[in-house]
Amino acid sequence: MRRIALFCLMTVASVLTSMAQSVYDFNVVDDNGKEVSLSQYKGKVLLIVNTATKCGFTPQYKELQELYEQYRAQGFEILDFPCNQFGQQAPGSIREIHQFCTANFNIEFPQFDKIEVNGEHAHPLYTFLKSQKGFCGFNTDDKIGRFLDERFKQQDPDYAKNPDIKWNFTKFLVSKDGCVLQRFEPTATAKDMEQDIQAALRANCCEKKDGCCCK
């Protein structure tokens, strides 16, 4: 019975994801346990990130906060989704994670409840994001990027063909009309993303009800 229920839930999630036109079609749970619709971010440029507090990339929180301070007045939002799937590097409750991030990095952007981003329990939002933008490669000019590339190739020589999230601090840039513009792997820095963020903020959007038209 439990397997049947799980199968039904997975089927419903799959159907909803396949029907989704934008990130606005998804609900998420905030850090206070309240379910919210991402449609509240219509008209904003979004950077959606899966994070961890005990990762080699955790210092990127500082860069993310700096980006947020620089561009939020122009309509830029960062949506932070802690995830414990990669090396168990996001332990603790969402409240503990939030306290850590505010104490160490003074973050002000929204944090949401912990989720899974891969596998049968992946949040439908992330199933959608991955369907829109697959893995785009680690920066192998970076020491950590080379290490990750070699590690994943040892496990699967064709790993790059799989759209799954590879590690903490993968980032998705979303347009003002809710469409996925770009995917940045964990080795991407704020400087690597800034030009694309600026372009998304400058984009003009039409009145089209379905599909993407911000240019």
Q: State the Cα torsion 122-113-45-70 to the nearest 10°.
A: -140
Spell out a b/e string for 45-77, using b for 16 or more CB atoms within 10 Å of the CB, else e.
bbbbbbbbbebbbbebbebbbebbeebeeeebb
Q: Quick check: is 55 catalytic?
A: yes
Residue 15 token pair: 């159907």
CA–CA separation, 114 and 29 (whole Å): 9
| 3-state secondary structure at position 181 | strand
Q: State the Cα torsion 205-173-114-153 to the nearest 10°.
A: 150
Considering 55, 179, 212, 213, which one is annotated as catalytic? Answer: 55
Reference 116, options 143, 86, 137; nearest CA is 86
Residue 103 token pair: 């104490």
| 3-state secondary structure at position 144 | helix
CA–CA separation, 64 and 55 (whole Å): 15
CA–CA separation, 41 and 132 (whole Å): 19
What letter would DSSP give residue 92?
A: S
The residues assigned a catalytic role are: 55
